[in-house]
Structure 1
Amino acid sequence: MPLSLTLALGAALPALAETGQAEWAQRYDADARLTVSRSTTPILSEQTVAATEAAIERYRQIVETGGWPAVPNQTLRLGSNGAAVSALRRRLIVSGDIGAETGTSPIFDSYVEAGVRRFQARHGIIETGVVNQQTLAALNVPAETRLRQLETNLVRLRSFSHELGARYVTANIPAAQVETVENGQVVTHHIAGVGKIDRQSPVMQTKAYQVNFNPFWTVPASVIRKDLIPKMQADPNYLHDNHIRVYNKEGQELQPEQINWRSLDALNYKFRQDIGGDFNSLGVVRIDIANPYGVYMHDTPAKGVFGDDFRFVSSGCIRLQNVRDYVAFLLRETPGWDRDAIDRAIASGERIDVKINPAVPVYWVYITAWGTPDGVTQFREDIYQRDGLNTAQIQAPDYSQAQTPAPTPVAQQAAAPRGGRLLPRDEEN
């Protein structure tokens, strides 16, 4: 038994002897096997390809030995007791999220909680330690499907085995994450908001060539049709409340009352949101990237999205957490634009455009499964259904205990705009 586990169990024994039950406050997650560290290895790298190949071999062995059991459809948390917890333990043991020495006890103790947190971290789920519907859906994807997912994504990873540049950016769409890379090491990580299921962020290779500080946002026709017109029909004050002005083709400002909102008349006008980090849909920074899809990367005033599991919320653009760190990376080799200059530009409240010199390569990729050099295997939901696999419709066994409804796949959840804000898509401001 590992020393850390022995010490943890020893610490719990006095409480067990006195009370006759486990001490739920005792932490068992000191074991290094139960932690998932943030990797400094770029997802697009030879190291990730090798780690994914190793993960495929491990998962082939899991499949050959029968895979893992399904976990019944009920919420499980610290203190839960019953056959469902035993099934959960067996599931976590097979995937390596807890050690086999923990056994199949029906009690959900702190060690199981740590294993659940590890599983959640590997699947891009907020680490609550509670087996909720989203965690259940991920737990009950068969080992065979996970193996095929790894094999599918290995092909994608190998396609980026060529030279990507000394400095570059990778946005992994299914993970809703962005990383900056320099000299083969990840410099910064950024949680992101990416395209909704019906307005997908495109896979592409491009370059970031310009930073717009304190940008205007011009509402594109697709957003006028799908979002702005319905919002104005529901609330005639919407434009005013969101600091959006209306202009005709001659550049003259109009009043919202001059437009027939019960028709498509609004498509004949230009709608531009004022500068302002507290309300502007682009926040305080927009990053221009060369592409034919009309998308870009930007800040957002709606920071709450970065704390959600489901971050497929935009009209195709990518919203960035900690955008100032990201801009500092892009402008590091641009003379006169250190972090202090960036902060001053934002604080000025004025529109300032800066060419990135040299332009930085940017890769928007679609990777739903990969290995890391530390032996951890990562999975994300195939949100755009591009893997060609069914990873969600798995039935749990029938238990005599009362069960909650089967978990709903995240990909089937509605991706409605959050906070009532419009979702920006790239057009000239």
Structure 2
Amino acid sequence: MSFAVALLVLAPAPLQAEQSPGQVDTTQAETQVVPPPQFLEPETPIAKAVSAAMSPDLPDGLVLFYGKRAFAPIWFTENGLTENAHLAIAAMAAANEHALNPNNYDPLGFIKRSETSTSEQDWAQFDIDLSVQFLRYATHLSSGRVQPNAVNKALNLFPHRPEPAMLFENAEKSEDFSAFLDSLAPQSDNYARLKRRLAQFREKAAAGGFTTVPDGEVLKPGMTDPRLAVLKQRLIEEDIPGAADHTGEVYDGALVEAVKTFQEYHGLATDGVIGKNTLARLNIPLQDKLIQMELNMERRRWMRDDLGDFYVFSNLADQNLKVVRNGKTIHTAKVVVGKPYHATPVFSDTLEYVEINPFWNVPYSIATKEYLPKLKQNAGALSGKQIRVFQGDSEIAPTQIAWNSYSGGNFPFRLRQDPGDGNALGRIKFMFPNPFNIYIHDTPSKSLFSQAERAFSHGCIRVSNPFKLADVLLADSNVAPGHWQAIRDSGERTVVKPRVPIEVHLTYLTAWMNKDGSTHFRKDIYGRDKVLLEALRTAMTENL
């Protein structure tokens, strides 16, 4: 299914004719509401009706909260619906602002029921149903519509979902219920920026979307081309800086710089040449970009608001890394991530130590799938690679082993590469021990950092200029400049522990908005957008 078609899945159906999700009129319902039965003390008919309407399928915490209040209704009094009820229904009706589907929470259904309910049983069920839908809305908004690890085992994120009793207790205690509703959404600037940009792009889509740039020969700086006016218009539509400044009939100056900026925003080589890849990105339907932004708002809901005072943040889809301290980015670097067959997982951990001049303990899968076939053909295949063979603690000469007797199921050996320039880990690695055996390290293959797309590893993250990264992460060690490089040059294997906690966050984001207003989109290198989109399509009635 294409993203253009899939948009129909995420976009909410019209709530009613000529009415958008953000325009549900609860004022009319407030004036026409049929007064509910007399709201009295516990053990009254309405409280008994609420108690009788409790279903075994309800979340335990919600039943507990009702029990603590002797099953008195939450959302109405003898005077009708409470202000909190109107605000909750209005928030659910406007869920589309957060890339959630209002129809999942039935706000118009509650308005209609508030106008037609008459019996204690009707109102009791109304109250319970609104509580269930409010809990669903709060859960979706604060921690996502789906559980990441249930969607994809490579997403090792387990966002905290609201505990029902505590959610309703906090709602009841809040002095400003509108502020409480706002607090349910992620409180990070990253989420707020993407939410704002999604609204702006939706307005562009409603106005007709983006202009299509016709196919043609590869367009290079200095050329003339009848498509220049269309190209300029297309870049202006996406708010690319400088595009409007171009004049003349030659592809040069401001227009070339605007194309380079567009390429940067889309993770392409910034050469100003409009070839097949750049043209394809220019002509991605705006509806597809809306979906991409919606999917990444879901991902932001999985993430903590506060990632720490000092942390490493690597976006696998972007193939870049940054170090943030006290809210400021203090270092950036290009990285190489796992190829699609060896996709790097998403998780967070803590940096425990940095190893200079490390050994490389060859992973079992690489030893058996890549080196064993070579050793079966030539027992000297490891010669010149500084890779030794061990069985237990004993080293064995490769030429003394009958390699054809072994396979992936009975391989008893351990392969270890000595430190050195040819070591697969380079001269330094950054360790945050985890069940996936993933870490950040140097590499002898420096040329890969010059490529725009850098998914080439077996899963670990190779970083450019790793000793600059070491200087940044180990700055609290109070050593002289060049200290870590000197240890590297000595060849001595050295382990250094950071003196302050440093968190490491490996993420997967294919759309985001920076502080400078630039909006970035990345290729879905692991196909995780499509998997998440399908999960959101089917997660319409999940249990709370």
TM-score range for the pair, normalised by the shorter chain length? 0.7 to 0.9
Residue 119 (str. 1) matches residue 262 (str. 2): yes
Correspondence for 1:268 among 396, 412, 423: 412
Distance in 1 between residues matched to 2:390 and 2:399, nearest whole Å: 10
Paired AA for residue 95 in structure 1: E
Bigger helix fraction: 2
Equivalent residue in structure 2 for 1:192, among 321, 332, 335 = 335
Of 391, 396, 408 in structure 2, the residue corresponding to residue 248 of structure 1 is 391
Q: Which residue does the alignment assign to 1:395?
A: none
Check 1:270–1:52 CA distance in 2 against 1; reply closer, same or farther (3 A cut).
same
Q: Secondary structure at the match of 1:186?
A: strand
* 8 A contact 1:78–1:108 mirrored in 2: yes
Cα deviation per residue 1:63-94 (whole Å; 9 max; x = unaligned)?
Answer: 11221233316421123334444443332222
Q: 1:86 to 1:230 in 2, by over 3 A?
A: farther
TM-score, length of structure 1 as denominator length: 0.73
The 1:389–1:258 alpha-carbon spacing in structure 2 relative to 1, beyond 3 Å, is closer
Is 288-297 or 130-139 further displaced after alignment?
A: 130-139
Aligned partner letter, 1:118: T
For 2:432, the aligned partner's letter is I
Closer/same/farther in 2, CA of residues 338 and 368 from structure 1, 3 Å limit: farther
SS of 1:246's equivalent? Answer: strand
1:165 partnered with 2:305 = no
The alpha carbon displacement at 1:268 in A equals 2.7
- 8 Å Cα contact 2:243/2:255 also seen in 1: no
Report which of the two has the higher share of strand: 1
Q: Distance in 2 between matches of 1:252 and 1:350?
A: 21
> How many Å separate the matches in 1 of 2:465 and 2:507?
21
Q: Distance in 1 between matches of 2:400 and 2:222?
A: 59
Q: Distance in 2 between matches of 1:135 and 1:251?
A: 55
Q: Is 1:202 aligned with 2:345?
A: yes
Counterparts of 1:87-166 in structure 2, within 5 Å, are: 87-97=230-240, 98-100=242-244, 102=246, 107-166=250-309
Residues in 2 aligned to 1:61 and 1:232: alpha-carbon distance in whole angstroms? 61
Report the Cα distance in structure 2 between the residues aligned to 1:255 and 1:294, rounded to whole angstroms: 26
The residue identity in structure 2 corresponding to 1:47 is: D
1:267-298 deviations in Å (ceiling 9; x for gaps)? 3321111110x211111111111311111111
> How far is 1:197 from its partner?
0.3
SS of the equivalent of 1:147 reads: helix
2:194 alignment counterpart: 52
Letter in 2 for 1:356: P
Shift of the 64–363 alpha-carbon distance from structure 1 to 2, 3 Å rule, reads same
8 Å contact from structure 2 (residues 336, 463) kept in 1: yes
The Cα offsets for residues 93-116 of structure 1, whole Å up to 9 and x where unpaired, read as: 22122544647x764233321121
The one-letter amino acid of 1:377's match is T
CA displacement at 1:337 relative to structure 2: 4.6
| Distance across 1 between alignment mates of 2:391 and 2:273 | 54
Question: For 2:359, which of 216, 235, 242 is the aligned residue?
Answer: 216
Deviation by residue 1:4-49 (Cα, 9 ceiling, x = unmatched):
xxxxxxxxxxxxxxxxxxxxxxxxxxxxxxxxxxxxxxxx983332
**Aligned counterparts of 2:220 and 2:501: Cα–Cα separation in 1:** 49
Q: Deviations over 1:214-243 (max 9, x none)?
A: 001011111123322355568765421322
Contact 1:239 1:256 in 2 (8 A): no
**TM superposition shift of 1:316:** 0.9
1:400 is matched with: none
Residue of structure 1 aligned with 2:447, choices 299, 304, 310 = 304
Aligned equivalents of 1:206 and 1:378: distance in 2? 26
- 1:313 alignment partner in structure 2: 456
Contact 1:54 1:371 in 2 (8 A): no
**Pairing partner for 2:322 from 179, 184, 193:** 179
- Rounded Cα–Cα distance in structure 2 between residues aligned with 1:82 and 1:275: 55
- Whether the 8 Å CA contact 1:149–1:389 is kept in 2: the answer is no
- Deviation readout 1:154-198 (Å, 9 max, x if unpaired): 232344352222111111110011111111000100110111101
Deviates more, 1:211-220 or 1:224-233: 224-233
- 1:67: which partner in 2? 209
What is the 5 A alignment of 1:366-381? Answer: 366-381=508-523
CA contact (8 A) 1:213 1:352 kept: yes
1:276-295 correspondence runs (5 A): 276=420, 278-295=421-438
SS of equivalent to 2:498: strand
**1:379-394 residue pairs with structure 2 within 5 A?**
379-388=521-530
Distance in 1 of aligned mates of 2:228 and 2:402: 60
Q: Name the CA distance, whole Å, in 2 between partners of 1:253 and 1:246.
A: 6
Q: Distance in 2 between matches of 1:67 and 1:389?
A: 26
Give how far 1:344 is off.
2.5
Bigger mean CA deviation after superposition, 253-262 or 180-189: 253-262
Cα distance between partner residues in 2 of 1:373 and 1:289? 29
Could you say which residue in structure 1 is the equivalent of 2:505? 363
Give the Cα separation in 2 of the matches to 1:190 and 1:256: 42
Partner secondary structure for residue 411 of structure 2: helix
Say if 1:210 and 1:287, in contact at 8 Å, map to a contact too: yes
Relative to structure 2, which stretch is displaced further, 214-223 or 74-83? Answer: 74-83
In 2, Cα distance between the equivalents of 1:73 and 1:157? Answer: 38
Structure 1 vs Structure 2 CA RMSD: 2.7
Q: Which residue identity lines up with residue 308 of structure 1 in the other structure?
A: Q
Q: Deviations over 1:359-396 (max 9, x none)?
A: 311111111111112211011111111122899xxxxx
Q: For each residue in 1:110-146, what CA deviation from the matched residue of structure 2 results, as whole angstroms up to 9, or x when unmatched? A: 3321121011111122210101222223222111111
Q: How far apart, CA to CA, are the structure 1 residues paired with 2:336 and 2:274?
A: 24
Q: 1:264 to 1:45 in 2, by over 3 A?
A: farther
User: Quick one: which amino acid aligns to residue 513 of structure 2?
Assistant: G
| C-alpha separation in 1, matches of 2:377 and 2:273 | 39
* Deviation, structure 1 residue 338: 5.2
Q: Distance in 1 between matches of 2:407 and 2:429?
A: 29
Question: Relative contact order: is structure 1 or structure 2 higher (C-alpha 8 Å, sep ≥ 6)?
Answer: 1
Task: Verify the 8 A CA contact 1:211 1:287 in the aligned structure 2.
Answer: yes
Residue aligning to 2:33: none
Change (3 A) 1:101 1:66: farther
Q: Which residues in structure 2 correspond to 1:348-359 (within 5 Å)?
A: 348-359=490-501
